[in-house]
């Protein structure tokens, strides 16, 4: 049977930890983020987290149903950080563009956590607020509901997929990441044109581009497609499938 999670007000009345601090869900999540940054996902356990907080590991289960619940809370924290300071201006394309870049950056600021959480659905308030905001931007702009949902789906999955991909690279050991990046010049740029004419013709361009995230370009392409669909709606044409 899962342990009962104690409501936040009741938790605050608990005794301080060995270090004299009073635990909170936010403190636990922030400590978990630090541990992920320093030790990776393999270093995040209830025992180690409890030690970092100066608390018995069992204390964590007053705040979270388990480590998987904590993982969702970490994802929720990253989403919340992306939303901080963002407000809709009424320019749907600028609003979605800014929010997409914020989501991507919030996750890349914590690459180990991003790899762990980008594929998760938290069902928590700040994730729900983000979903409501994105759908609100699209529906207010005039997208019919089927198109709004389709674009929302593509937008959020694209943002998180690139966050996970780019975070995966950042989470590598520096030596491995450098070796991957140098491959475009050490290997691809030296392939013979007789065998690989298209790679050889674009080798310099590939070397200059492939070590950077493609997310800004992919985001613009998605927004271009959405803008074309909105123009079709206003002109009475089809909106895509």
- Domain 8-65: CATH class, spelled out: mainly alpha
Domain locations in the chain as residue ranges? 8-65, 89-235
Q: What is the pTM of this model?
A: 0.85
**Average pLDDT in the chain:** 90
User: What is the per-residue pLDDT across 30-51, written as a single tens digit (0 to 9) for each?
Assistant: 999 999 998 888 889 999 999 9
d(CA 118, CA 116): 6
Q: What burial letters (b/e) apply to 144-171, b meaning 16+ CB within 10 Å?
A: eeebbebbbeebbebbbebbbebbeebb
The CATH code for residues 89-235 is 1.10.357.10
What are the tens digits of pLDDT across the range 81-119?
Answer: 999 999 999 999 999 999 999 999 999 999 999 999 999
């Amino acid at each position: 049977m899962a342990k009962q999670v104690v409501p936040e007000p009741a938790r605050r009345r608990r005794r301080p930890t060995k270090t004299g601090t009073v635990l909170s869900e936010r403190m636990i999540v922030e400590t978990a983020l630090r541990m992920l940054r320093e030790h990776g996902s393999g270093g995040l356990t209830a025992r180690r987290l409890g030690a970092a907080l100066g608390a018995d590991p069992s204390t964590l289960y007053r705040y979270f149903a388990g480590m998987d619940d904590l993982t969702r809370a970490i994802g929720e924290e990253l989403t919340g950080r992306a939303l901080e300071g963002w407000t809709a201006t009424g320019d749907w394309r600028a609003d979605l563009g800014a929010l997409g870049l914020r989501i991507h950056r919030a996750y890349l600021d914590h690459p180990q956590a991003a790899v762990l959480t980008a594929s998760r659905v938290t069902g928590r308030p700040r994730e729900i607020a983000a979903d409501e905001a994105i759908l609100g931007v699209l529906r207010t702009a005039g997208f019919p509901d089927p198109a709004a949902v389709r674009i929302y789906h593509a937008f959020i999955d694209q943002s998180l997929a690139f966050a996970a991909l780019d975070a995966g690279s950042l989470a590598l050991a520096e030596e491995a990441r450098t070796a991957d990046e140098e491959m475009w010049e050490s290997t691809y740029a030296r392939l013979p044109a007789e065998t690989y004419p298209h790679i050889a013709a674009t080798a310099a361009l590939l070397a200059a581009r492939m070590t950077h995230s493609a997310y800004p370009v992919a985001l613009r392409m998605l927004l271009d497609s959405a803008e074309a669909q909105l123009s079709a709606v206003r002109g009475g044409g089809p909106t895509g499938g």
